[in-house]
Amino acid sequence: MTTTLYGLKNCDTCRKARKWLDRFGVVHAFVDYREDKPTPEMLVEWARQAGGFAALVNKSSTTWRQLPDNRKAAASDPEWKLLLREYPQLIRRPVVVTDDGVMTQGFSDNGFKKRFGIQ
């Protein structure tokens, strides 16, 4: 199974996730979504699996707190897509997508063990 980890190369959580994948021999590719922004179609699919666009967003991030209130109040999918394409660092990271299309967000040792079937 191929795994793609989307995140930011300077993010500590993304680094931990990448080290974990290396340590357990999980073949993966890393995509820095500040440099290679997710497509609108990817964002729609991630939002579908996450339970909506609001669930994709890290609302405790500095970037979110610095946004004007009118940008935080995205009311439609096109507004969310525009916001997340403009500020991909708002996406809770890492985003992990396996070749079966399943997407998960975040990193924890136990969560990754369960996700990748490692005892």
Beta bridge partners of 32: 7
Contact between 28 and 21 under an 8 Å Cβ cutoff? The reply is yes
CB neighbours (10 Å) of residue 113?
13
**Alpha-carbon separation of residue 47 from 15, 16, 83 (angstroms):** 23, 24, 13
11 is catalytic: yes
Please report the pLDDT score of residue 73 as a whole number: 86
Contact between 63 and 92 under an 8 Å Cβ cutoff? The reply is no
- Reduce the DSSP state of residue 78 to 3 states and report it: helix
Catalytic entry in 3, 11, 13, 77: 11
pLDDT tens for 23-33 read 999 999 999 99
Please report the pLDDT score of residue 7 as a whole number: 96
Percent of the chain with pLDDT strictly greater than 70 = 99
Beta bridge partners of 105: 95
Whether the predicted pLDDT of 114 surpasses 90 = yes
